[in-house]
């Protein structure tokens, strides 16, 4: 099916080059990175050296001023290769936009260039042990003291939690008299700030090479000018960036699910039982036909949203639908594909097992499916 996105020749070349780059740099190393539970810093540095980090940033910060389609291609290629633990979309398209949109010129000059070079890595810390879906109930608090802010609290499930150097942290700054949506601010906490510590990497069932960790702020003193944007605007800033964050999640899920179908198609043609290829059994054909149909629906939808996003339109509601439906569909596809591999699908040697485990998170982070449905139903005027 022809995609509705108008990729130019240079986009196609870029995709091809980046795809080969991933094979060369990642294929032989990924299993080791999964064992170590982290993507090595050297790899991030190489990504930066090759211009794959924050490519959309302005040239004055060291970016290429690339359009959003380059971000789309990078995320799609990482997902379709099954390297879900490489959270390049988090660094490129989820966290850095906070700095770019709300940072002062001085802050951008300070933080963006090392992130574009891959010398410094990004994370965003919103979730707390008792504030996940219900973000407004967060307890982490920042209090102004002279020229500094004193941060106290705890965050959990933070992706890049161990490796990150620059962390955008959401904290309460308003008193009880301030409405919830005006009582949160965003701060940048840098590695080695006194009072900032990290827990051990959290052990997860999937995304094994992704370092997810708890962060602790214990009278953590950060310079006054590490406040990002205006005091009290944190919640609104987070909401403003959610369209892109959820779009990135959904488009990665779509690409990963398409890849599951491709590898399964190949497998069922090769695998023989009862004297014929598995692909010749009606169940297999119907399974694959159903999945191909769902994927075609997802593809049209996500590409339409990408086009709208690039055109600067607000598609918040539709993006919630895509985040909900495509991420759920991607999980179903990974599960049904694994089933067609039989026992081999349950073995880590077969990439389908990794797709299956990595897909599971997609309906949980960046807003759970239930939260998406809550937002969608609210938008329906219910
Ligand atoms: C691997 C991983 C990486 C992550 N990365 C980050 C990160 O980088 N930064 C960050 O800040 N956070 C991150 N998170 C946190 C993630 O965003 C939260 O886990 C998620 O928002 C859900 O919050 P919770 O875990 O507290 O679940 P809860 O909010 O406790 O939800 C529990 C259940 O209740 C349901 N529920 C919630 N609200 C409603 C409702 N209104 N109606 C009905 N049911 C509801 C949920 O859908 C869920 O099924 C990550 C999580 C994981 C596991």
Task: Using the structure block, give the residue that is written with the tokens 């069922």.
Answer: 268
Pocket of ligand 1 (CB under 6 A): 123-127, 132-133, 157-159, 204, 207, 212, 361, 364-365, 368, 370-371, 374
Residue 325 has pLDDT above 90, yes or no: yes
Q: How far apart are CA 18 and CA 28, in angstroms?
A: 16
Is 74 within 8 Å of 51 (Cβ atoms)?
no
The answer, yes or no, to whether residue 360 has pLDDT greater than 90, is: yes
Mean pLDDT of the chain: 97
Encode pLDDT of 275-291 as tens digits. 999 999 999 999 999 99
**pLDDT tens-digit readout, 224-266:** 999 999 999 999 999 999 999 999 999 999 999 999 999 999 9
| Tokens encoding 149 | 């802010």
Residue bearing the CA closest to ligand 1, atom 4: 157
Residue 176 has a pLDDT of: 84
Choose which residue among 127, 169, 201, 358 to substitute to test ligand 1 binding: the one with the highest number of ligand atoms within 8 A of its C-beta: 127
CA 131 to ligand 1 centroid distance, Å: 8
- Which 3 state secondary structure label does DSSP give 27? coil
pLDDT confidence of 105, banded at 50, 70, 90? very high
Separation between Cα atoms, residue 374 and residue 358, nearest integer Å: 24
pLDDT over 90 (residue 1): no
pLDDT for position 150 = 98
**Quick one: average pLDDT of 93-97?**
98
Q: Which two structure tokens, joined as six digits, stand for 184?
A: 């949160």
Strands (E), 29-147: 122-125, 141-145
pLDDT at 181 over 90: no
Decide if pLDDT at 170 tops 90. yes
Of the pLDDT bands very low, low, confident and very high (cuts 50, 70, 90), residue 191 is very high
Q: Which burial class, exposed, middle or buried, applies to 351 when counting CB atoms under 10 A from its CB (0-12, 13-18, 19+)? A: middle
Token code pair at residue 370:
């239930």
Q: How much is the average pLDDT of 342-357?
A: 98
Alpha-helical runs (H) found in 278-350? 282-310, 316-340
CB atoms within 10 A of CB 255: 22
- Residue 172 three-state SS: strand
- The CATH number given to 236-379 is 1.20.140.10
| Residue boundaries of the structural domains of the chain | 9-120, 123-232, 236-379
For 9-120, give the CATH class: mainly alpha
- Nearest alpha carbon to residue 267 among 347, 343, 341: 341
- Calpha distance 39→30 (Å, rounded): 8
42 is catalytic: no
What digits encode the pLDDT tens for the residues 290-312?
A: 999 999 999 999 999 999 999 99
Structure confidence at residue 143 (pLDDT): 97
292 Cβ neighbours under 8 A, 6+ residues apart:
261
Tokens matching residue 228: 């990002």
pLDDT at residue 180 above 90? no
Mean pLDDT value of segment 213-220: 98
Token pair recorded at residue 161: 């939690």
- Average pLDDT value for residue range 8-27: 98
Which residues have CB under 8 Å from 171's CB, separation 6+? 138, 140, 141, 142, 151, 153, 184, 185, 187, 234
SS (H, E, C) 50-75: CCCCCCCCCHHHCCCCCCHHHHHHHH
Helix (H, G, I), strand (E, B) or coil at 191: coil
- Architecture per CATH, domain 123-232, reads as Beta Barrel (2.40)
Return the H-helix or E-strand segment holding 356. Answer: helix 351-359
Give the residue, out of 91, 157, 158, 327, with the most ligand 1 atoms within 8 A of its beta carbon, to mutate for a pocket test: 157
């Amino acid at each position: 099916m022809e995609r509705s996105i108008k990729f130019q020749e240079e986009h196609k070349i870029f995709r091809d080059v980046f795809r080969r780059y991933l094979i060369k740099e990642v294929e032989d190393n990924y299993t080791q990175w999964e064992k170590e539970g982290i993507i090595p810093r050297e790899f991030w540095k190489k990504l930066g050296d090759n211009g794959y980090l924050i490519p959309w940033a302005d040239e004055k910060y060291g970016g290429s001023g690339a359009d959003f389609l380059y971000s789309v291609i990078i995320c799609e290629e990482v997902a379709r290769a099954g390297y879900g633990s490489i959270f390049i979309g988090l660094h490129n398209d989820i966290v850095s936009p906070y700095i770019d949109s709300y940072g002062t010129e001085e802050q951008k000059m300070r933080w963006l260039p090392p992130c574009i070079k891959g010398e410094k890595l990004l994370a965003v810390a919103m979730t707390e042990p008792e504030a996940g879906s219900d973000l407004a109930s967060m307890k982490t608090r920042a209090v102004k003291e002279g020229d500094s802010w004193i941060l106290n609290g705890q965050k959990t499930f933070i992706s890049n939690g161990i490796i990150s150097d620059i962390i955008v942290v959401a904290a309460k700054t308003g008193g009880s008299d301030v409405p919830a949506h005006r009582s949160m601010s965003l701060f940048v906490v840098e590695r080695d700030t006194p009072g900032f510590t990290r827990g051990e990497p959290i052990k997860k069932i999937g995304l094994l090479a992704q370092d997810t960790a708890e962060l602790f702020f214990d009278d953590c003193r950060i310079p006054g000018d590490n406040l990002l944007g205006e005091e009290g605007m944190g919640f609104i800033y987070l909401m403003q960036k959610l369209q892109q964050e959820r779009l990135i999640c959904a488009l990665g899920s779509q690409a990963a699910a398409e890849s599951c179908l491709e590898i399964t198609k190949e497998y069922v043609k090769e695998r023989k039982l009862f004297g014929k290829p598995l692909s010749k059994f009606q169940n297999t054909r119907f399974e694959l036909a159903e999945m191909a149909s769902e994927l075609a629906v997802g593809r049209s939808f996500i590409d339409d949203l990408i086009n709208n996003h690039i055109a600067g339109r607000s598609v918040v509601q539709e993006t919630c639908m895509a985040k909900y439906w495509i991420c759920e569909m991607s999980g179903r596809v990974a599960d049904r594909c694994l089933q067609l591999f039989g026992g081999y699908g349950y073995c880590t040697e077969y990439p389908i097992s990794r797709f299956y485990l990595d897909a599971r998170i997609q309906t949980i982070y960046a807003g759970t499916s239930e939260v998406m449905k809550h937002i969608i139903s609210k938008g329906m005027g219910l």
